[in-house]
Amino acid sequence: MHQTFDIAKASRKVLSQFLENYTLEQLNKIAPGFNNNLIWNIAHIVVTQQRLVYKFSGVPMIISDELFEKYKGGTKPLQDVTQAEVEEIKSLLFETINQTEADFNNKFFKEYQEYTTSIGLTIKNIEDALSFNNYHEALHMGIIMSIRKFV
């Protein structure tokens, strides 16, 4: 599982570069042909990891319910985010992965509610969830790479 966490941390490092190198206006811009923006995709990645790992394990998520509701699957940006929100999301990029790794290593996740993903893959345990999360992050990284060309 060490490699799985290394991949997640590398992904989060790339994502943090968008938060550091793009303006608030660029992060909030919804490019033609897209229904979301850079910041939504990055926050969605954080929220989905929490859902896949913590919520389906029956363990309280690290993030707030408000953040979860705003960026969970099926949502879209309803208003521009502030710089303070960008900073919170940037902090959560690493905080959530580091805490998840510590919790995993401390055998914090005892149960898992099976979940079938939108691609038809059934996640049966925490290891499956962590592995699938990296796939999900890569999927949204591709979307982010496409959006960045238009902002």
CB-based burial, 5-33: b 16+ in 10 Å, e otherwise: bebbeebbeebbebbeebeeebbbbbbee
Q: In residues, how long is the chain?
A: 151
Cα 151 to Cα 141: distance, rounded to the nearest angstrom: 15
Cα 147 to Cα 122: distance, rounded to the nearest angstrom: 29
Q: What percent of the chain has pLDDT over 90?
A: 98
pLDDT tens digits, one per residue of 11-23: 999 999 999 999 9
pTM for the model: 0.95
Mean pLDDT of the chain: 96
Cα 12 to Cα 7: distance, rounded to the nearest angstrom: 9
Specify the amino acid at residue 122: T
Residues with Cβ < 8 Å from 135, sequence gap 6 or more?
none
Average pLDDT of span 101-105: 97
Determine contact, residues 12/140, Cβ cutoff 8 Å.
no
pLDDT tens digits, one per residue of 45-65: 999 999 999 999 999 999 999
